[in-house]
Structure 1
Amino acid sequence: MKETVKVAVIGMGNRGQSLLKHCILPQPGVQVVAVCDRYEDRVKLGVDMVLEAGQPQPKATQDYRELLDMPELDAALILTSWESHINLACDFMRAGKYTAIEVGGAYSVDDCWKLVRTHEETGTQCMILENCCYGREELMVLNMVRQGLFGEIVHCQGGYRHDLRQEVAFGRENRHYRFYNYLTRNGENYPTHELGPIANVLNINRGNRMLSLVSMASKSAGLHEYLVREKGPDHDASQMHFAQGDVVTTIIKCAGGETICLTLDTTLPRAYSRAFHVQGTKGMYMEDNNSIFLDGKDNAYDFKWREKWDNAKEYRDQYEHPVWQSYLKEGVRGGHDGMDWLVLRAFFESVKNGTPAPLDVYDAAAWMSITALSEQSVAMGGAPVAIPDFTNGQWTSRAPWEP
């Protein structure tokens, strides 16, 4: 077991800066030995953060390839734009470095296969940093499912429902990749926040798998109206046609017979929600009103359910996941209500112990592929599209996920 892991942070945009400051540098037994970004000012910002944390001067570069042959480097954290995740991950796996990639969708199914085959050829671990798998509510519901509270699970829903109009509209000014993605692509472009926790509930890649999907996209109107209002009708962006539909709905069929409904909703005014929803033969959990409905207990309230909103907290004492029981005693840290800290801690522990990544390359490939596959379905008017088995049959015998 390594007492200290030496890591490189590649990508120093807003997400990279936040994780470096709040969840990487403060982690016990983690030393940042290199910082990389294509922009010089961001590299300098990363170096300053490392030095301010009291760590030694890290290597600073705008070319990640300079890091591949660093003998002291144990792991690489890829926090860059979506389009670069897989290529960078494959290069670091070939270099024998534990690799972690931030979330986002894949641009092609071939890229997903490339990720899997590189892992299988090199034996190097790659983890997708899906923080929502470590969310307090998500883990409590997973614990409830595994204890049979909801019976046999039949249907799950999730969403990335987040007003990103400002982020997208000012993407060029802020050097953010979403602008050009929304301009040219149309599909479920950010599937893993909602799909990751659902995949764990349904044992996807671990006794179950996703078989096929259909996707439909609404028209694109929200960004145009926002741009006209914020930048004026004569601004070049106000005259562009954005391909990305305001609301994209994707329905997935699983080998176990379950269905999953995902919703992307990021260019209209709305409140934030991941809309996590799990429904079985004995009851259901609904994130948006934080409630649990159990057959035989709550039926009298089926038409007056508002009286029971927020009742999920009543189940905490019995069903709080052990990970969060310990975490609450330690003290919750980092961003996104503590999820960021937990997912990175899980990655660093796998590096220290030389063990498989908790959310591995097969999870990354399956979840990220939904973007490319949904684009195909949307382009064909909602036609069904097959989802590959990236485990090549191993899903029938792989053990259930444990955080």
Structure 2
Amino acid sequence: MRNNRRNFLKVSGLAGLGIAGGGLLNGFASESKSNLMANPNTGRPYIQQFNMSGYAAPKLETVRAGFIGLGQRGPGHVMNLTKCEGVQVVGLSDLITENVVKVQKRIEPLGHKPTLYSGSQDGWKKLCDRKDVDIIYIATPWHLHVPMALYAMEMGKHVFIEVPAAVTVEECWQLVQTSERTKKHCMMLENCCYDFFELLTLNMTRQGYFGELVHAEGAYIHNLLDLNFSKTGYQDMWRLKENATRRGSLYTTHGLGPICQAMNINRGDKLDYLVSMQSNDFQMAAKAKELAAKDDFYKQFADDTFNGNMNTTTIRTSKGRSIMIQHDVTSPRPYSRIHLISGTEGTALKYPEPGRISNSHRGWLSADEFKAVEEKYRPAIVKKVGELAKKVGGHGGMDFLMDWRIVDCLRNGLPLDQDVYDAASWSSVFPLSEWSVNNRSNSIDIPDFTGGAWRSNAPVDIDLKVGGTTGIKV
């Protein structure tokens, strides 16, 4: 019943945008949630309308920002942008009025006087309709990301979407085609690409330290069992419901995103196909039954079949590299995103922390050797903003690094570090892994969302040779 209700909300929302029909998809097959064994037809050719890779939108002297979703992630983005020069927060939207008012009270003393939109299911549309909004941040439950992003781009806004950007392959195509047609940025807010070790290894990779990359590993191993079953953790317990209705690597991009940047995915290489396997669920169903025995509220979950504990997805790229991604949000394991980069001349491994580096055929560098390498390859963005980012906070500073970089690129008319093709290809691993799991781990192609442009697209360097001009208010 919950599945049907969510599908209805998604389809009705798309119909409200005038895009529920097949015209936008140019013939791409829709995925059927009632028939997950069907191949979602990922190999059809695509003719690109406009290449958003490396696209530099016109400069914005002042970035006028609106925010949709002020639960767990949204308020942090709002506060980060208030610390960036040249930003005006003009609108805040959330279904719950209390969430909006709470953020309003925090930013009004900082000189921002946002209009509030709350209390209705479609109040966010009024924010997107405004002419004095340049960008929209979307930090809502996953199934709302694409309907909101499509509407915002149609209204002329650049959009920045929390992870994953989309939850079906069809939605990924909708993001790509709408971004290309409107020439509006559609960036997924993959903050782990801006963590300090990931930025360091990206810079080292691009300067040839590891030689030719051969293999990489990433993960999202994070014990969220209690949080997922908390009545106050996620609005309407939406994340628990995702785990009760979907299978596979549901939250892929924290581990995959930094790896894809290091491998220049969509910019010289691309994700080709994947195979996904997962364990049974050993804990979530048991937890639901345990809670239901004590609290009638949880009886609605007592008969659900939940996503398995551990999912392992392996990916092969067009250049013949391999990637391993794991997902486990239930087991009592220490947090890890792994972040292993393995090349012909060296290796990097972040978890268990502290991160380590090896070069050539030696073992791990000593602490002093690592410090010297870190100093030599420290990225320009870390040199300029790193210490301030740590003071501001947000996952150790990576959230602020990402938000500052977005603002600086927009104000200087620079290409973004991530584009809509990254949002689509990284997010597509979620539904494609689901297909593979439901088909005895058969392989499935990953779409070429660039329409072949990956062969000539160039990487975006976070070098600050241009830009880096946006001041910070701390």
Matched letter for residue 219 of structure 1:
N
Alignment of 1:33-182 (within 5 A): 33-61=90-118, 62=120, 63-104=123-164, 106-170=166-230, 174-175=234-235, 176-182=237-243
Matched position secondary structure for 1:151: coil
In the alignment, which residue of structure 1 is the partner of 2:71?
A: 13
2:374 pairs with 1:316: yes
Matched position secondary structure for 2:326: strand
C-alpha deviation, 1:268, in angstroms:
0.9
Matched position secondary structure for 1:177: helix
Matched position secondary structure for 2:73: helix
In the alignment, which residue of structure 2 is the partner of 1:265?
A: 328
Contact 2:213–2:341, Cα closer than 8 Å, also in 1: yes
In the alignment, which residue of structure 1 is the partner of 2:52?
A: none
CA distance in structure 2 between the aligned counterparts of 1:285 and 1:148, rounded to whole angstroms: 13
Contact 1:34–1:60, Cα closer than 8 Å, also in 2: yes
Shift in CA distance, 162/309, structure 1 to aligned 2, threshold 3 Å = farther
TM-score (norm 2): 0.78
Contact 2:389–2:401, Cα closer than 8 Å, also in 1: no
In the alignment, which residue of structure 2 is the partner of 1:302?
A: none
In the alignment, which residue of structure 2 is the partner of 1:245?
A: 308
2:271 pairs with 1:213: no
After superposition, the C-alpha distances for 1:327-386 in whole angstroms (9 at most, x for unaligned) are 235553230111111111122223323443321111101111111101100110101010
Matched position secondary structure for 2:147: helix
Matched position secondary structure for 2:89: strand
C-alpha deviation, 1:211, in angstroms:
0.4
Contact 2:289–2:299, Cα closer than 8 Å, also in 1: no
CA distance in structure 2 between the aligned counterparts of 1:36 and 1:170, rounded to whole angstroms: 24
CA distance in structure 2 between the aligned counterparts of 1:163 and 1:317, rounded to whole angstroms: 34
CA distance in structure 2 between the aligned counterparts of 1:331 and 1:97, rounded to whole angstroms: 27
After superposition, the C-alpha distances for 1:126-185 in whole angstroms (9 at most, x for unaligned) are 111111111110011112212222221110000001111112112577414211101111
Contact 2:269–2:455, Cα closer than 8 Å, also in 1: yes
Shift in CA distance, 216/312, structure 1 to aligned 2, threshold 3 Å = farther
Match 2:360 to one of 269, 275, 295:
295
CA distance in structure 2 between the aligned counterparts of 1:283 and 1:358, rounded to whole angstroms: 25
Match 1:29 to one of 75, 86, 90:
86
Matched letter for residue 282 of structure 1:
E
Matched position secondary structure for 1:260: strand
2:397 pairs with 1:344: no
CA distance in structure 2 between the aligned counterparts of 1:386 and 1:113, rounded to whole angstroms: 15
Query: Where does the alignment leave 5 or more consecutive residues of structure 1 unmatched?
Result: 299-304
Shift in CA distance, 275/171, structure 1 to aligned 2, threshold 3 Å = farther
In the alignment, which residue of structure 2 is the partner of 1:301?
A: none
Shift in CA distance, 363/170, structure 1 to aligned 2, threshold 3 Å = same
Matched letter for residue 297 of structure 1:
R
Range moving further from structure 2, 86-95 or 313-322: 313-322
In the alignment, which residue of structure 2 is the partner of 1:192?
A: 253
Contact 2:117–2:127, Cα closer than 8 Å, also in 1: no
Shift in CA distance, 191/171, structure 1 to aligned 2, threshold 3 Å = farther
Shift in CA distance, 284/20, structure 1 to aligned 2, threshold 3 Å = same
Shift in CA distance, 173/162, structure 1 to aligned 2, threshold 3 Å = closer
CA distance in structure 2 between the aligned counterparts of 1:92 and 1:98, rounded to whole angstroms: 7
RMSD: 2.2
CA distance in structure 2 between the aligned counterparts of 1:211 and 1:229, rounded to whole angstroms: 42
CA distance in structure 2 between the aligned counterparts of 1:46 and 1:292, rounded to whole angstroms: 41
After superposition, the C-alpha distances for 1:288-331 in whole angstroms (9 at most, x for unaligned) are 24222223433xxxxxx7x9689744521222222212223555
After superposition, the C-alpha distances for 1:2-34 in whole angstroms (9 at most, x for unaligned) are 33211101001111123223x122222211111
After superposition, the C-alpha distances for 1:236-260 in whole angstroms (9 at most, x for unaligned) are 1662333211100000000111000
User: What is the aligned length?
Assistant: 395
Identity of aligned residues (%): 35
Matched letter for residue 292 of structure 1:
I
Contact 2:146–2:175, Cα closer than 8 Å, also in 1: yes
Matched letter for residue 411 of structure 2:
K
C-alpha deviation, 1:107, in angstroms:
2.2
Matched position secondary structure for 1:398: coil
Range moving further from structure 2, 271-280 or 344-353: 344-353
Matched letter for residue 294 of structure 1:
N
Matched letter for residue 40 of structure 1:
T
After superposition, the C-alpha distances for 1:73-112 in whole angstroms (9 at most, x for unaligned) are 1111111111111111111111111111111163211110
CA distance in structure 1 between the aligned counterparts of 2:362 and 2:258, rounded to whole angstroms: 26
Range moving further from structure 2, 77-86 or 36-45: 36-45
CA distance in structure 1 between the aligned counterparts of 2:362 and 2:151, rounded to whole angstroms: 54
2:60 pairs with 1:2: yes
CA distance in structure 2 between the aligned counterparts of 1:401 and 1:390, rounded to whole angstroms: 18
Range moving further from structure 2, 343-352 or 161-170: 343-352
2:423 pairs with 1:364: yes
Match 2:244 to one of 170, 183, 197:
183
C-alpha deviation, 1:222, in angstroms:
2.0
